[in-house]
Chains A and B, each alone.
Chain A
Amino acid sequence: MQVNLIDFWPRILEATYQTLLMVGISLLVATLIGLPLGIALVVTKQGGLLENNSIFNGLSAVVNFFRSIPFIILLVAILPLTRLIVGTSIGTAAASVPLIIFSAPYIARLVESSLLEVKTGVIEAAEAMGATPWQIIWRVYIPEALSSIVLNLTIATIGLVGASAMAGFVGGGGLGDLAISYGYQRFETDIMVVTVLLLVFIVQATQMVGNLLSKKAKRQ
């Protein structure tokens, strides 16, 4: 049975929307978790603003733990938790839960590395002016690292687009799901090609926007 590509467009559009939604929600929530986590890692590090070995080691261990679980396993293992949070284990919202758990620790590490790029001399200059640790975080670390953070978030977003294909397959929805269930399992090559092209387009567009925003953030 051949599916007519023209008739199939609404399905593709819906899947695109689902992918963007999944990536959008996960990115937002994961950043909300990852950004403070990354900041906490940097300031509690040895020699950091608020050096604290036990907090640093604890956070670092948690981040490493989640980073070491392969996504495909996380996806399945988390199903009960997803059901608990979202009420169901299928659908776009449900697919976002593993995506968030997958990318938040990743974003934390990316933010950490961005913040570590800020020259210690600049931090020291702010300290010498009598800035509080809080002021240094908001007025020095974040603005100075913003360009790099944006670039790193772009990388995380693209990673999310890829992971969302898998998450969609389990939870239902999105371009990845479409590509696999029609293109792969039913040999609808047209649909496979179109969805892949769309994914390529999303990734390209994301990178472009990311580069642009990052450049903007360099000069505030």
Chain B
Amino acid sequence: MIEFRDVSKVYDHNGNELRAVDHVTLKVDKGEIFGVIGFSGAGKSTLVRMVNQLEKPTEGNILVEGEDLTKLSKPEVRRVRKRIGMIFQHFNLLESKTVRHNVGFPLALVGTPKRVIQKRVTEILEFVGLEDKADQYPEELSGGQKQRVGIARALATSPDILLCDEATSALDPETTKSILQLLKRVRDEYNLTILMITHEMNVIKEVCDKVAVMEKGAVIEQGTIFELFSNPQHQTTQNFIRSVIESDIPASILRGIEKRGAGRHIYRVTFVNETAGEPILSQVSKRFDVDVNVLFGQITELQGIPFGHLVVEIQGEDKEIVKAIDHIQSAVTVQEVYSHAG
């Protein structure tokens, strides 16, 4: 659907060349929500802006549905842009126009008859839940509502692709959640392909199917969200993941374990893309003669599936513990953190 082939973007910074995007190769499939995460200045905006040619790549090719955008003339670029919606961090709505006019704007640009615009605007405002705000002006709306207008406007022409440049970065966590849910619905109902960039891992965690991590213009790691969360290779990726789920055992707990370590069996149980949830632990204590104590842990949800880990202490006879671990291992990953034969 969207394909970056060895794409670079070089800016001239007072004679020095600045590689905003550095040899990026990516593929976003149809109907996918693809996230790009990176720190400020990583080149994320530059990357998405090349998809609708707001920026021209210095090297490489960008293909949208097999069509190479880098080879298009200006009018052809405008034609392609009509199939690509975009939403922005600061919404970028026309302040002098009502919500209705803002949403109808891209349709008016292509000379759509007024009646058709009217009908489509009503329909799409209903979809984003703003039908009662049609005649208000952007400055009368909250940030979340403005972004809904932005989304409605982007969808008005029924595009195939939606680009989101930090679409939730100006919003509070609750509003962010509702906008992300809306974007999910957009994908599900319209089968859109969404490319979103963000510097917040919880946004990625919430809605993305795949993710690429960018640093200094380059994509340093990419994969499905589970691949990345369960096996992050790069330090930056690990840091991002740590921002939503803590994987290290806190120092206070570690100290406690070390102080009274003799005879304790402590394990880290990791849930990755596996159906078992916490019940496995209670099952174990029922089925075997062991007690399971949760010392620390964090479980979150990735695409509706629990993901995370628990640090547990298993108490009981060594023989029973071995059996219990075997059982847990049949469902999820278990790793020994600390064990000291008593």
Query: Number of A residues whose C-beta is below 8 Å from B?
Result: 23
B101: chain A residues at CB < 8 Å are 220
Evaluate contact between B78 and A132: CB separation under 8 angstroms. yes
B77: chain A residues at CB < 8 Å are 130
A119: chain B residues at CB < 8 Å are 90, 92
Among B88, B94, B97, B101, which residue has the most Cβ atoms of chain A within 10 A? B94
A143: chain B residues at CB < 8 Å are 94, 96-97
17 cross-chain CB contacts under 8 A = A119-B92, A125-B93, A126-B109, A127-B54, A128-B52, A128-B163, A129-B105, A130-B81, A130-B109, A139-B108, A140-B94, A143-B97, A144-B96, A218-B96, A219-B98, A220-B96, A220-B97
With A121-B88, A124-B54, A219-B137 as given contacts, are A129 and B109 in contact (CB-CB < 8 Å)? yes
Interface residue SS majority, chain A? helix
Inter-chain CA distance A129–B101, complex, in Å, is: 14
- Interchain CB contact (< 8 A) of A128 among B86, B95, B96, B98: B86
**Is B33's beta carbon under 8 Å from chain A?**
no
State how many angstroms separate the Cβ of B20 from the closest Cβ of chain A. Answer: 16
**Is B106's beta carbon under 8 Å from chain A?**
yes
B110: chain A residues at CB < 8 Å are 130
Least CB separation from B136: chain A residue: A219
A127-153 to B contact mask, C-beta < 8 Å, 1/0: 111111001000110011011000000
Q: Which of B63-87 contact A (CB under 8 A)?
A: 77-82, 84, 86
B137: chain A residues at CB < 8 Å are 219
Query: Number of B residues whose C-beta is below 8 Å from A?
Result: 28
Inter-chain CA distance A128–B92, complex, in Å, is: 11
B105: chain A residues at CB < 8 Å are 126, 129, 139
Inter-chain CA distance A119–B95, complex, in Å, is: 10
B93: chain A residues at CB < 8 Å are 122, 125
Evaluate contact between A146 and B96: CB separation under 8 angstroms. yes
**Is A217's beta carbon under 8 Å from chain B?**
yes
Evaluate contact between B79 and A130: CB separation under 8 angstroms. yes
Enumerate chain B interface residues (CB-CB to A < 8 A): 52, 54, 77-82, 84, 86, 88, 90, 92-98, 101, 105-106, 108-110, 137, 157, 163
Total of A-B residue pairs, C-beta within 8 Å? 66
Least CB separation from B159: chain A residue: A129
Among A122, A125, A132, A140, which residue has the most Cβ atoms of chain B within 10 A? A125
A121: chain B residues at CB < 8 Å are 88, 90, 92
A122: chain B residues at CB < 8 Å are 92-95
A126: chain B residues at CB < 8 Å are 105, 109
Inter-chain CA distance A147–B157, complex, in Å, is: 29
Least CB separation from B98: chain A residue: A219
Inter-chain CA distance A135–B95, complex, in Å, is: 17
- Interchain CB contact (< 8 A) of B95 among A124, A132, A144: A144
A125: chain B residues at CB < 8 Å are 86, 88, 92-93
Evaluate contact between A144 and B94: CB separation under 8 angstroms. yes
Inter-chain CA distance A218–B98, complex, in Å, is: 11
Evaluate contact between A217 and B96: CB separation under 8 angstroms. yes
A140: chain B residues at CB < 8 Å are 94
With A128-B86, A132-B78 as given contacts, are A219 and B92 in contact (CB-CB < 8 Å)? no
Inter-chain CA distance A22–B127, complex, in Å, is: 55
Least CB separation from B78: chain A residue: A130
Inter-chain CA distance A217–B94, complex, in Å, is: 13
Inter-chain CA distance A44–B82, complex, in Å, is: 25
Inter-chain CA distance A144–B96, complex, in Å, is: 6
State how many angstroms separate the Cβ of B207 from the closest Cβ of chain A. Answer: 21
Inter-chain CA distance A63–B95, complex, in Å, is: 30
Least CB separation from B156: chain A residue: A129
Least CB separation from B163: chain A residue: A128
A98-141 to B contact mask, C-beta < 8 Å, 1/0: 00000000000000000000010110111111111001000110
State how many angstroms separate the Cβ of B212 from the closest Cβ of chain A. Answer: 21
State how many angstroms separate the Cβ of A115 from the closest Cβ of chain B. Answer: 13
A130: chain B residues at CB < 8 Å are 77-82, 106, 109-110
By Cβ-Cβ distance, the 9 closest A-B pairs, closest first, are A130-B81, A125-B92, A121-B92, A130-B78, A130-B82, A129-B106, A128-B86, A122-B92, A220-B96
Least CB separation from A220: chain B residue: B96
